[in-house]
């Protein structure tokens, strides 16, 4: 993939954040990685979505050095890079402050598994990280944000759980490429909204059954998946 193609893909993914209603003002960013070249393209810091074009997308190496572009990359770049280093199978990352998912992050609550919409995409409750320590916040904050995510996934497979809630902060989602990470961020927000309404109606509702989780997740993922058609839409039910 050329660097230009990578920047174009990441531009489109960032524009999709705004189109999907996941971000107000400049609250969010998407990146994509070229694994073969060790390069990451990411939204520039603080630039409104309607001012983005491919030339404004920053390109950095896996150490964070800018190799293309005249604008500073997102302040969350170090978090993205830490996730790319730790999760070898991912190709794109999206971070937003979407309202419902962020509400769970601010409450320091995992997103519970309550029904089949959730099970279609996340193999269990979406985890929340621990709160960051004062020294982690004071020094290398963005890098340490990535580290607490990686720590939380010590016993989880990021392929089965393509999202996390960072305590007191907000959601991160990832996928096979930048566009896929945005799709997972959209799904995460929709599931979080459903969960909040469900908990308002039935505050003590228990999690849905493990049988439902296994059946619905396996319909779309893994060797026994049978949902959809090769040419069909990715998100229809």
Annotation marks residue 227 as catalytic? yes
- Edge-to-edge strand order for the sheet containing 58-61? 66-68, 58-61, 39-42, 28-34, 92-96, 170-175, 163-166
Q: Rounded to an integer, what distance in angstroms lies between the CA atom of residue 142 and that of residue 138?
A: 10
Catalytic residue among 76, 120, 177, 180: 120
* Whole-angstrom distance, CA of residue 192 vs CA of residue 198: 10
Judge contact between 67 and 61, C-beta under 8 A.
yes
Q: Strand 39-42 and strand 66-68: pairing? A: unpaired
Residue 114 in tokens: 């309550």
User: 26: alpha, beta or left, given left = phi > 0 and alpha = psi -120 to 50?
Assistant: alpha
Q: What is the CA radius of gyration of the chain?
A: 17
Q: 178-201 and 3-19 are packed helices; what angle lies between their axes, rounded to 10 degrees?
A: 20
* Tokens 């916040």 belong to residue: 137
Query: Catalytic residue at 120?
Result: yes
Please answer whether residues 130 and 144 qualify as being in contact, where contact means their C-beta atoms are separated by less than 8 angstroms: no
Whether the CB-CB separation of 111 and 173 falls below 8 Å is answered with no
Which of 5, 53, 140, 227 is catalytic? The answer is 227
Active site residues: 120, 227
């Amino acid at each position: 993939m050329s660097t230009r193609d990578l920047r174009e893909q990441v531009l489109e993914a960032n524009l999709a954040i705004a189109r999907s209603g996941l971000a107000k003002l400049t609250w969010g960013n998407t990146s994509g990685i070229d694994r073969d070249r060790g390069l990451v393209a990411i939204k520039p810091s603080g630039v409104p979505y309607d001012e983005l074009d491919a030339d404004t997308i920053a390109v950095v190496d896996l150490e964070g050095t800018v190799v293309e572009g005249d604008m500073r990359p997102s302040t969350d770049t170090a978090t993205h890079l830490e996730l790319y280093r730790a999760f070898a199978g991912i190709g794109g990352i999206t971070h937003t402050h979407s309202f419902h998912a962020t509400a769970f992050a601010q409450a320091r609550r995992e997103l519970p598994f309550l029904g089949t919409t959730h099970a279609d995409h996340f193999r269990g409750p979406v985890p929340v990280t621990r709160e960051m320590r004062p020294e982690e916040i004071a020094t290398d904050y963005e890098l340490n944000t990535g580290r607490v995510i990686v720590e939380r996934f010590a016993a989880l497979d990021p392929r089965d759980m393509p999202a996390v809630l960072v305590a007191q902060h907000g959601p991160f989602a990832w996928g096979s490429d930048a566009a896929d990470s945005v799709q997972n961020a959209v799904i995460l927000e929709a599931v979080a909204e459903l969960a909040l309404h469900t908990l308002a109606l039935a505050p003590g509702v228990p999690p849905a059954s493990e049988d439902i989780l296994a059946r619905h997740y396996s319909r779309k993922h893994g060797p026994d998946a049978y949902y959809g058609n090769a040419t069909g839409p990715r998100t229809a039910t």
